[in-house]
Amino acid sequence: MLSSQHYTPQSIIFPVSAAMLRNIKEYDTALESYSKPLLTQVKYKMTPKNEV
């Protein structure tokens, strides 16, 4: 998102991991709110070796 909005110059990587770690609970909540509805659309099964 930051790259698509041209937040930093083309060759610069913006370190968002530090902000995620400072706000880990909020980050987890954001991930869950995105992935929970998506997981209802995903079908998977385990193999006998416990592989997805």
Residues 11/3, Cβ–Cβ less than 8 Å: no
Encode burial over 30-52: b for 16+ CB neighbours within 10 A, e otherwise: eeeeeeeeeeeeeeeeeeeeeee
Is the per-residue pLDDT at 14 higher than 80? Answer: no
Per-residue confidence (pLDDT) for residue 32, from 0 to 100:
92
Per-domain residue ranges for the chain?
Answer: 1-41
Helices (H), the chain: 17-22, 24-39
First-to-last alpha carbon distance for the chain, in angstroms, is 29
Greater pLDDT, 13 or 35? 35
Q: What is the mean pLDDT of residues 17-44?
A: 90
Longest dimension (CA), the chain: 48
Per-residue confidence (pLDDT) for residue 17, from 0 to 100:
85
